[in-house]
Structure 1
């Protein structure tokens, strides 16, 4: 998030255990370095693991019995393989050149399949290793000196100072509400974006908000024009869903429920006139009486003039009124008995519908029952009554980790609920922190901040006139209620973030900071988790596990042959398997080839790399220029006289005994035995 400061360093995600929850947050660039390192590390570890596999297979295939050349070539590949890809290529060549032999492919296929499986396994491991350095981009916000929330001044706003305070509060609340609207538009619904940066900013991207049809939520059920729609967020955990990084025992579950239905206005609608109705009809004042209005001190829940209905500049207009259970001071009206609820807050939303639709609308809130013809001949459909009322009951519920719960109540009762019998201050701090954010997520706050933008239908305006509209579905009012529910939980998440990063400058006189007596147990200003694509949170356990397991595999590979040799010596097991493994080493095979040609006095035969005595020089075998069926090789020595390989001159009469060309080898070679010496002895070259 570009407007937040992220804490860089070690921290613990308490939604996981102490081991898996440890994280290190770094910048994007540093995170890419870690990902690149892990990919290379897994590749390196994979090559060592492949060598271990080759050693095990080589040992199982080793035999003291005579085997054909294909078997020995397989053993040679297993002994000298450094990578699965290299082995795949060498096996492919072996299969090709042995294609005329019986069952050559069938004998090579198991090794081929093993190499392919290993390649797939470690390619996947390299991919998943990058997840160690992402953890879904969860980061912890850095503590800001401006952490807190803005206080709204007490009514009435009769001083300049109160007006300034209310203005600052309104600006901050409007910014959060507009952000939440954009988030819901982009991240919820069938057309939700999977690539939007905004959708990767909240600790929990979206919630599965349920909608069910229920009976009218008001005591007088005849007030409802249809059955109500109930939008339920389900229980949202303060840590897992809302990103409040408290200890598991201090977390709370929160649930919000909105139950709404269009309500009748017949019998509650009246007007009077302040002038001559014939000449000054615009002065006619209309009232909707659903209860006593505290500010106007009369029974007019809603009041507007006829002039408000003339020459509209936009398709919709909204008015609203709220009655908070057990809190008249924060209520705008006292509901009539048929609307009053003591276990929830009642909100009435008055819709002025000036839209002219391209087709008839049967929705109960947006209903059209009249048509109008433009001078162009186009027909549009409109509502003859203009106004329509939606009634909603908002309820909230807390549930503690010990199972105690407040039940569905109004906001005032939610704040009064005792969090725990043992007065856990950390849990109380979490509850207060959530309570302040919940206040800003209520329907009336969103209506005050964004007005008609809270209507999904407002996005359908078209044509030159802003009142022209493409139309709405016949269940649009239900869609609006769901939209309000989505907006509510998103505003809650945003308010929690705004609290931490500071809704106003740190020196603002209207900024209410956390209670000092609660900060010792839980500090909400340094405990908010969000998502941030510009940072990486590296899972410490995953990082250590990847490196630790890799080191173990590397050490095991480097010492496996020695360990097996020692075990065979201690147990008295015949050592032919390990001896074959050593002799199949490319350097040993090279040494044996040169010895068979009588070249070199070799020493250090027990080492991985045998060497010759100091100053020893001899030629290199190259393909002979003389054509022949056997494509013979000869040695080109450092002198001008070529030495034909004595290995190819076996028909000569005088034998060249091993003693004459490999005296050093016989004395020092620990593997000297008839089974391991050349079966054909070279003879004199000339």
Structure 2
């Protein structure tokens, strides 16, 4: 383990890389690290934080995330603020229209009333009502009374409705921000399992459940937690990658991902220059058994009797040696299992595996990770004939008048190879396709020009890749991973398609990809089973020269998720525009009258408009009324608040006694 980890690192120029990987390899993380993102309480979404979502750039991506409570308060304030904007903008509109319509010369009473309405009405609904009444009362008196008032009433109604809708939908300002959140957890770091089965068992079950739910149906509510619901992938038939003598003779099945951007698909929230791209290829092929003495051997004679069995009861499958070469066969199968009324049994192995399994030379392909899966149908009886190369069942069984079909082979082996590729999106340079143990060394090629952040990202990815073979995906659930098992009741199997083995491999590929998605998030989110892991924080106790330490630590705050946990995002640009424009409108509404009056006086133009604005004010209209009646001596005739020069007392009803009857 230590040698393989160290050799994989090669000449590592990254400061923290060598020391860190020594620690990790020494503790056995390479063959066992399988992670799970704990959405049930390990991650934290703080009540307030500012982040930049780099997929939108530094301006559009600037976002503030608030807790549900704080977001509700902000949305309520935004709605109230929009209402204030509507009121102050109405002041600007009325002042502007009043000034435009102010002209010299004689006018009718409707004109002067309209000017007074514009001068003194503080809301659009009130103005609309007055304009409607004005149209009614002046009908048949003023020229074109309807056309001079109804359009203004309609404008007021539209103005009011527009801002009412805007106030209601102001909450949608949060929709202009990113749908993602950034994870934070006190357990950020490398999650090293303390035991070999518990956590991987849970992880594999979780990944399998997610893949079934989300890799075929992305509309499920369970699919909204990861950065993307599934990873894009394609399948194709290709030639068998192994020696022809061990291939069954049917086309191999190739599964590969697209070139996956670390930002979009793994949720690493980084600038374009700090991202990497990753591609995975897996090719699987059924292997020969019957008629191939090099890879299958019936146990007979003394060896059979020594083991306590008759001839040809036991079968050796010779695809490599086990236990450091001390066990010559890969599998010793008992054919009496076919009468034991049991369902499918599977075995799996992988290479390189610290000498646990030494595959035969015919299976070795340079620069690959190798997995071997052996599937025994045992007592399974198929209701329909099947010609699938792995699940083939053409032997007829007639029992009590019912026809069934028995499997053609005792055990059907499938071998798979995995390869990985990394690319630098800044220069379009890529590593060659290699196995997981060579990906780090390949990525350290100076010609690829990966920067420090990219290299740390590659190290995070490499932690998972060395435990990402199909063996690691199924070793904790060898009796339950088969999709064919889902169609079995007792020992009776429903009909299977003729490409069932491809269905099985594609499902395992999906499980592996789902597990990869969770593993990438686990670094930042922590594990839900904190008692089952040891968290290594690479930035702690690092030397001052370890510039990678800051990168490892910064990644704790750069993991995207779509799981909102009740929080809301707000675009800082959107909020800035709203509050900036709103405050500008409010400020202008208070100073516009003064500024325009000053300009009119300074330029000597439009003075009559300023005077009419002053005259049409409610308090100035009141002053004129009392002055006509000779009530009081008034001053401030050009100000907002006219007042008497002394404390004179006069009767309000004097105006009625002198008013002319109509």
Which category describes the TM-score, using the shorter chain as reference length?
Answer: 0.7 to 0.9
Query: Following the alignment from structure 2 to structure 1, what is the Cα–Cα distance between the partners of residues 643 and 497?
Result: 88
Query: Following the alignment from structure 1 to structure 2, what is the Cα–Cα distance between the partners of residues 97 and 486?
Result: 77
Deviation at residue 263 of structure 1 after TM alignment:
4.8
Deviation at residue 174 of structure 1 after TM alignment:
2.2
CA contact 2:125–2:156 (8 Å) conserved in 1? no
CA contact 2:189–2:556 (8 Å) conserved in 1? no
Query: Following the alignment from structure 1 to structure 2, what is the Cα–Cα distance between the partners of residues 70 and 282?
Result: 118
For residue 497 of structure 1, give the secondary structure of its aligned residue in structure 2. helix
Higher relative contact order (CA 8 A, sep 6+): 2
Which residue in the other structure is 1:520 paired with?
Answer: 549
Any idea what the Cα deviations from partners look like across 1:472-518, whole Å, max 9, x if unmatched?
Answer: 55555444444333332321221233334555988989665537346
Which residue in the other structure is 1:136 paired with?
Answer: 179
For residue 522 of structure 2, give the secondary structure of its aligned residue in structure 1. helix
Any idea what the Cα deviations from partners look like across 1:563-582, whole Å, max 9, x if unmatched?
Answer: 23333333333134444555
Which residue in the other structure is 2:15 paired with?
Answer: none
Which residue in the other structure is 1:250 paired with?
Answer: 274
Any idea what the Cα deviations from partners look like across 1:279-336, whole Å, max 9, x if unmatched?
Answer: 967993334344455645566444432244444555x44322323xxx4636734244
Which residue in the other structure is 2:79 paired with?
Answer: 39
TM-score (norm 2): 0.74
Query: Following the alignment from structure 2 to structure 1, what is the Cα–Cα distance between the partners of residues 444 and 124?
Result: 60
Residues 131 and 414 (structure 1), Cα distance of their counterparts in 2 relative to 1, 3 Å cut: same
| 1:318 lines up with 2:330 in the alignment | no
1:14-93 correspondence to structure 2 within 5 Å: 15=54, 17-64=57-104, 78-79=118-119, 82=122
For residue 507 of structure 2, give the secondary structure of its aligned residue in structure 1. helix
1:291-302 correspondence to structure 2 within 5 Å: 291-293=320-322, 295=324, 297=326, 300-302=329-331
Query: Following the alignment from structure 1 to structure 2, what is the Cα–Cα distance between the partners of residues 305 and 506?
Result: 42
Deviation at residue 396 of structure 1 after TM alignment:
1.0
Residues 494 and 116 (structure 1), Cα distance of their counterparts in 2 relative to 1, 3 Å cut: same
CA contact 2:274–2:454 (8 Å) conserved in 1? yes
CA RMSD in angstroms, aligned pairs only: 4.4
CA contact 1:287–1:304 (8 Å) conserved in 2? yes
Deviation at residue 555 of structure 1 after TM alignment:
1.2
Deviation at residue 438 of structure 1 after TM alignment:
2.8
Structure 2, unaligned runs of 5 or more:
1-38
Query: Following the alignment from structure 1 to structure 2, what is the Cα–Cα distance between the partners of residues 264 and 615?
Result: 119
Which residue in the other structure is 1:119 paired with?
Answer: 163
Deviation at residue 556 of structure 1 after TM alignment:
2.0
| 1:190 lines up with 2:230 in the alignment | no
| 1:419 lines up with 2:419 in the alignment | no
Which residue in the other structure is 2:602 paired with?
Answer: 570
Could you tell me which of 517, 533, 537 is aligned with 2:564?
533
Query: Following the alignment from structure 1 to structure 2, what is the Cα–Cα distance between the partners of residues 90 and 472?
Result: 79
CA contact 1:209–1:234 (8 Å) conserved in 2? yes
Deviation at residue 409 of structure 1 after TM alignment:
1.4
1:497-646 correspondence to structure 2 within 5 Å: 497-503=521-527, 513-514=537-538, 516=542, 517=546, 519-524=548-553, 526-531=556-561, 532-534=563-565, 535-585=567-617, 604-608=636-640, 610=642, 614=647, 637=653, 644=656, 646=658
CA contact 1:419–1:431 (8 Å) conserved in 2? no
1:386-405 correspondence to structure 2 within 5 Å: 387-403=411-427, 404-405=429-430
Query: Following the alignment from structure 1 to structure 2, what is the Cα–Cα distance between the partners of residues 480 and 561?
Result: 77
Query: Following the alignment from structure 1 to structure 2, what is the Cα–Cα distance between the partners of residues 40 and 260?
Result: 63
Larger Rg: 1
Which residue in the other structure is 1:209 paired with?
Answer: 232
Structure 1, unaligned runs of 5 or more:
152-164, 620-636, 651-686
Query: Following the alignment from structure 2 to structure 1, what is the Cα–Cα distance between the partners of residues 402 and 86?
Result: 72
CA contact 2:296–2:318 (8 Å) conserved in 1? yes
CA contact 1:201–1:530 (8 Å) conserved in 2? no
**Deviation larger for 589-598 or 246-255:** 589-598
Query: Following the alignment from structure 2 to structure 1, what is the Cα–Cα distance between the partners of residues 385 and 124?
Result: 69
Deviation at residue 368 of structure 1 after TM alignment:
4.4
Residues 77 and 246 (structure 1), Cα distance of their counterparts in 2 relative to 1, 3 Å cut: same
TM-score (norm 1): 0.72
* Residue-pair matches, total: 598
